[in-house]
Structures are given as C-alpha cells and as structure tokens.
C-alpha cells in the first residue's frame, strides 16, 4: 500500500474544519489591519534563499528540498515565504504603489527536518509582511497584528518575547565581542555551535542543545552593543507596545534562525505545545531587498505563524468548532427522493448544509442523522408531498413542527 511521504500528512475531516476556522479568523483580522493577500510560487530559484535566508543557516545548509531542473537551473521548494514576498515586491515594483505594502499569505512550506509533534516536512504558515516603512510604530503594529490573529483563533495565555539584534553596524561590534568570548568556551559546545562561531557567531545564540544553554546565558548581551539609533528604535517599539497594553518580556538572547533580521525580533510561545513551544516568530529585515538584488531600499517587518502548531494549540484548548450539519432529509421512496433533491437545492441556497439520505430503511437513515449530529431532520414520504406539509424535528429538543414549504424555508433561514 502506498502511504504519505514521511513528514507529510493528510488533513482529514473534522480536523480540516478547524483549519478552515483558524484561516477564516486570520483573514478577518488581516482585513481589519488593511492587509491584502499575496500568493507566491512553491518553487523559487535556490539563490533566493541562499542569499536571502543565509547560506550558513540550518534551513539552507541542511533542510531545503533542492533539485536541478531539466535546464540545469537549481530550484527549491520554499522553506519560508518572506524572501519570496520580497522577491515579488521587487520584481513587480510594488514600491511604486501608494503607501507601505501590507501583505499576508497562507500556505505550505517545506523543510527536511526531523518530524516531531507539531513539526512536519510539509508544514503551513500564516504570515504577514509590512514593506516600505522603517518606523518603530510599524514594528509595534505588526506585533499587535500577530497578537490579534492568535486571539481571534482562540489562543490565550501566550507569552510575547522581544529583542533588538541591532543594525549592521551594531552587530559587527557585537560579533567581535562574541567571538572573543567564545574562544574560551567553544570546545565545550556542540559541533553546530563550533561551526557557527566561525561563520556567524550570532547563530550560536539560537542553539537549542540543552547542555549549551548555561554557556549561552553567560555570553555578552547584544543590547549592550546597540548604537544610539538602534537603542532609540527599540525604546520606541516598547513604548508603542506599552501604549497598546501589550505585555512582553525582553529576551536579549532572542535572535531567530534567519540571517536577514535587523533591529526588532520577536517570538510568541504557548504552553500547550510542550518543550518546542514557539507558535510564532518574526522581525525586521531592512536590507533583505538589496541582498536579493533590489537597487531600491525596501525596509520591512513581518512574522509567520506555524499553522500546524496553531491548530494543535486551538484543539488543546477545547475551543475548536466542529462542522455542523444543519438538516438531514430522510426520503421514503423514489418519488420522495426526487422531491427531496430539489428541496435540498432550495435550502442550500440559504447557505445551510443539507444531507439527503438514500437508504431504503428509515431506521438506518435516522441513525445516520444522529451520528452526523444533524440539528434538524425532515422525514418526507408520499403523504407529505401530496399534502405539501413538512414535519421538521429539532434533534436537540425533540420538538416537531408541521410547516408549509415556504414556512419551512423561512424557519430554516431563521
């Protein structure tokens, strides 16, 4: 038997209904913040991620699905979407549109990492990007948007962590200090940290190996190396968050796993997800557009939510809504079945869900109506067709009403 590829899965009913609810909630929030949807290709040139995300990141060096096309070009299934959105922004000259471009996306990404709870090789992200403004007010609004999406999906009691990784100038000073400190402790750290210390020492702070954490905690804080402009930017971001009443914790070791971040970085964690508890991450990426070939600066900030983990958290809260069948119609005989098919079409135009039974035995149809948790049932035979009287049963209360066809439609519409 052929099965799904390792690390990829089928999302089946009723779970797919939860996914739809989460995505619908996110779309409503994006609309309120004046974000519009963008859809980028699943396949991009490999150079986009190598240059944009960073060749020394785990994503590029270990996790990407990359292959040579027939013409010899190297293509990659997108492992994240910020670089793709920036590529689209630059390619289609969206900087010529009025105001900052506020874009959101919902879709699959691909990384070949070890499958575990809430993490898959084909995973889904809900994300947003605000491109064309470098104001700390935009940073705070973006974080406010991320919080609003989680709340709309039914998630509470999460923790917002924020930091500043500074501008290019501040990071250069910090990296020098970090390299000096790491010389003494590096032999005690994991192989990845030893490699990162040479190629990009800031990545050491992103290490997840438990044995390395006490060493990392003693390393210098990047906040002590920010220049005056970076300090002021971070101060104002916190000030805007305070004005909104959004609680946060400043975490100086928070750098995120991508090379393109500048200044503001943030992450939201949720207890329902266990040890790997990050549900959302993001930050500012001024300079990314130039890295992928733009001649025009395009400062931006964004975030992505792990939708797989978000849905899992929603299900853990017990607030997930299951799909509801509004009406089950049980026709008695072939004539009634033809009549019910037409009636069902009229009721569906009221935006209600209808299931028409096809079993020959009434008992089996009513048993199925119960299993489907139908809100109402309608039993229809020759007598009901002749008299044009319909008996509607409320499955929750057991109450029955006899209604004309128009009265039935009016009752169901209400």
The mean per-residue pLDDT over the stretch 41-55 comes to 86
Domain count, the chain: 2
Closest CA to 197 of 224, 225, 211, 216: 216
| Residue 207 is assigned to a structural domain of this protein | no
Regarding whether 351 and 244 lie in a shared domain, the answer is: no
Q: Say what the pLDDT of residue 55 is.
A: 67
Regarding whether 137 and 268 lie in a shared domain, the answer is: yes
Q: Best-predicted range by mean pLDDT among 19-33, 182-196, 385-399?
A: 19-33
Regarding whether 238 and 99 lie in a shared domain, the answer is: yes
Regarding whether 356 and 263 lie in a shared domain, the answer is: no
Range of the domain at 76: 15-167+227-317
Q: Say what the pLDDT of residue 109 is.
A: 94
To the nearest whole percent, how much of the chain has pLDDT over 70? 96
| Residue 118 is assigned to a structural domain of this protein | yes
Task: State pTM to two decimals.
Answer: 0.86
The mean per-residue pLDDT over the stretch 359-376 comes to 89
Regarding whether 269 and 158 lie in a shared domain, the answer is: yes
Regarding whether 354 and 249 lie in a shared domain, the answer is: no
Q: Best-predicted range by mean pLDDT among 52-61, 171-180, 233-242?
A: 233-242
Whole-angstrom CA distances from 300 to 6, 60, 275, 393 are 35, 22, 30, 56
- pLDDT of residue 196 exceeding 80, the answer is no
End-to-end CA distance of the chain: 48
- Choose one of 317, 352, 374: the last residue of a domain: 317
Regarding whether 385 and 302 lie in a shared domain, the answer is: no
Per-residue pLDDT of 314-324, as tens digits, reads 888 766 666 78
Per-residue pLDDT of 271-314, as tens digits, reads 755 556 789 999 999 888 888 888 888 899 999 999 999 998 88
Residue 163 sits in a domain whose CATH number is 3.30.930.10
Residue 358 sits in a domain whose CATH number is 3.40.50.800
- Choose one of 285, 317, 349: the last residue of a domain: 317
Tokens encoding 379: 């039993």
| Residue 198 is assigned to a structural domain of this protein | no
Whole-angstrom CA distances from 310 to 142, 270, 320 are 18, 9, 11
Whole-angstrom CA distances from 210 to 81, 197, 204, 206 are 29, 18, 13, 12
* Residue 269: burial class (beta carbons within 10 Å; 0-12, 13-18, 19+): middle
Regarding whether 335 and 309 lie in a shared domain, the answer is: no
Regarding whether 129 and 22 lie in a shared domain, the answer is: yes
| Residue 206 is assigned to a structural domain of this protein | no
- pLDDT of residue 37 exceeding 80, the answer is yes
| Residue 219 is assigned to a structural domain of this protein | no
Q: Say what the pLDDT of residue 231 is.
A: 94
| Residue 6 is assigned to a structural domain of this protein | no
| Residue 10 is assigned to a structural domain of this protein | no
| Residue 87 is assigned to a structural domain of this protein | yes
Regarding whether 243 and 100 lie in a shared domain, the answer is: yes
Regarding whether 305 and 157 lie in a shared domain, the answer is: yes
Regarding whether 393 and 250 lie in a shared domain, the answer is: no
- Choose one of 253, 283, 317: the last residue of a domain: 317
More confident residue, 16 or 58: 16
- The gap from C-alpha 387 to its chain's centroid, in whole angstroms, comes to 53
Q: How confident is the model at residue 56 (pLDDT cuts 50, 70, 90)?
A: low
């Amino acid at each position: 038997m052929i099965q799904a590829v390792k690390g990829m899965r089928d999302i089946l009913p009723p779970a797919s209904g939860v996914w739809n609810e989460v995505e619908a909630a996110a779309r409503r929030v994006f609309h309120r913040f004046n974000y519009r949807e963008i859809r980028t290709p699943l396949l991009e040139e490999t150079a986009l991620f190598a240059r944009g995300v960073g060749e020394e990141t785990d994503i590029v060096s270990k996790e990407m699905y990359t292959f040579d096309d027939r013409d010899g070009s190297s293509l990659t299934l997108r492992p994240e979407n910020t670089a793709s959105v920036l590529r689209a922004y630059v390619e289609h000259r969206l900087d010529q549109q009025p105001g900052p471009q506020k874009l959101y996306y919902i879709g699959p990404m691909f990384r070949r990492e070890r499958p575990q709870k809430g993490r898959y090789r084909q995973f889904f992200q809900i994300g947003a990007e605000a491109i064309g403004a470098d104001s700390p007010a935009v940073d705070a609004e973006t974080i406010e948007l991320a919080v609003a999406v989680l709340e709309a999906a039914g998630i509470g009691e999460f923790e917002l962590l924020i930091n500043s990784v500074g501008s290019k100038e501040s990071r250069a000073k910090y990296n020098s200090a970090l390299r000096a400190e790491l010389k003494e402790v590096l032999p005690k750290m994991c192989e990845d940290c030893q490699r990162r210390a040479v190629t990009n020492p800031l990545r050491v702070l992103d290490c997840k190996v438990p044995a390395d954490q006490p060493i990392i905690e003693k390393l210098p804080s990047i906040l002590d190396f920010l220049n005056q402009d970076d300090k002021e930017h971070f101060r104002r971001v916190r000030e805007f968050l305070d004005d909104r009443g959004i609680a946060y914790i400043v975490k100086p070791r928070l750098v995120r796993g991508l090379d393109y971040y500048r200044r503001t970085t943030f992450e939201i964690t949720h207890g329902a997800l266990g040890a790997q508890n990050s549900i959302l991450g993001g930050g500012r990426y001024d300079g990314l557009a130039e890295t992928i070939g733009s001649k025009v600066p395009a400062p931006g900030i964004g975030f992505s939510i792990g939708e797989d983990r978000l849905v899992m958290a929603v299900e853990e809260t017990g607030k997930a809504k299951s799909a509801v069948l509004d009406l089950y119609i049980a026709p008695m005989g072939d004539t009634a079945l033809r009549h019910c098919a037409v009636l069902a079409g009229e009721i569906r135009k009221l935006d209600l869900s209808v299931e028409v039974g096809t079993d020959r035995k009434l008992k089996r149809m009513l048993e199925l109506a119960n299993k489907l948790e139908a809100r109402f049932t309608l039993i229809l035979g020759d007598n009901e067709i002749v008299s044009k009287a319909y008996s509607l049963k409320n499955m929750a209360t057991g109450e029955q009403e006899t209604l004309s066809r128009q009265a039935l439609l009016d009752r169901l519409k209400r």
